[in-house]
Amino acid sequence: MRIDRERGEIHFKLTYFGPGLVGKKTCLQYIWNRTRPEYKTALQDLVPADELGVFSWEEYQERRPTLRGRQVWFELTPATLAPLAGLRVKLDLHTNPGACWIEPTRRFSLVGADGVMFVAHADPIGANSNLEALQMLEELLAEGVAYQREIPRVFCYNRRDTDGLCDLADLERDLNPGRRWSSFTISAVRGEGVFDALKALVGAVIRPLEAAPGRLAAR
């Protein structure tokens, strides 16, 4: 959470996290494409100039403490969201496309995050990668890279518009036991459920602050 009192704004960083090739970037693209120009910044899809090219495993191991990797992000100003303690709400939506083994890039995407959208494979082939990504998320949050360890989360089970998918009950059991967090079935390509999931995450992030406005006044 970042407050800019000069501009009268409060920024929340929301990170789309999960295995590679699961639709994280596609979710952001869908949101960006369906948002009017006055409510969004340009969609950034960048790789740092000094990280262009393909690394060998040895070079990756040598450079991994400083790697940031490919970054995709933009700033969204929700038109229907009321000001919070007199501050206009801004959402900084981030993700790191690609494989989860690039740990430094995942770490960077979570630094200062206020909420996590965990996008999971609904295909049985991706079951192991879902668990690996979730384990990495838990480890990084335990290290304190985000705004707080128990930051709100929402689970998205993507590609529900295809056949041969995992049973939803199995996905919830493995990734969201006890349905502690809200979950949605989505199609990132078609956009089904994408905005519903985002609204749920924004609500989970903002509600505690609405209930305790003194937390903002003290910052």
List, in sequence order, the alpha helices (H) in the chain.
24-33, 57-63, 103-110, 127-142, 168-175, 194-211, 214-217
Compute the distance between CA of residue 68 and CA of residue 51 in angstroms, rounded to an integer.
8
Q: How many domains does the chain have?
A: 1
Q: Which residues span the domain enclosing 212?
A: 2-217
Q: Would you give the end-to-end CA distance of the chain in angstroms? A: 10
Tally the C-alpha atoms within 13 A of residue 41's C-alpha that lie toward its C-beta: 12
pLDDT digits (tens, 9 = 90+) for 28-52: 999 999 999 999 999 998 765 555 5
DSSP class of residue 193 equals: T
Picking from 100, 131, 75, 119, the residue whose alpha carbon sits closest to that of residue 20 is 100
Range with lowest mean pLDDT among 77-86, 91-100, 145-154, 181-190: 91-100
**Cross-strand bridge partners of residue 9:** 4, 88
Query: Which CATH number characterizes residue 150's domain?
Result: 3.40.50.300
Question: Tell me: the pLDDT tens digits for 175-206?
Answer: 999 899 999 999 999 999 999 999 999 999 99
Predicted confidence (pLDDT) per residue in 2-30, tens digit: 999 999 999 999 999 998 888 999 999 99
Q: CB within 8 A of 198, min separation 6: which ones?
A: 14, 31, 117
Q: Is the dihedral of CA 32, 37, 40, 42 positive or negative?
A: positive
Residues 2, 87: Cα–Cα separation, whole Å? 11
Residue whose C-alpha is closest to residue 134's, from 30, 22, 218, 40:
22
Q: What is the pLDDT of residue 124?
A: 79
Task: Inform me whether the pLDDT recorded for 89 exceeds 50.
Answer: yes
DSSP state of 17: E
> Are 124 and 164 a contacting pair, CB within 8 Å?
yes
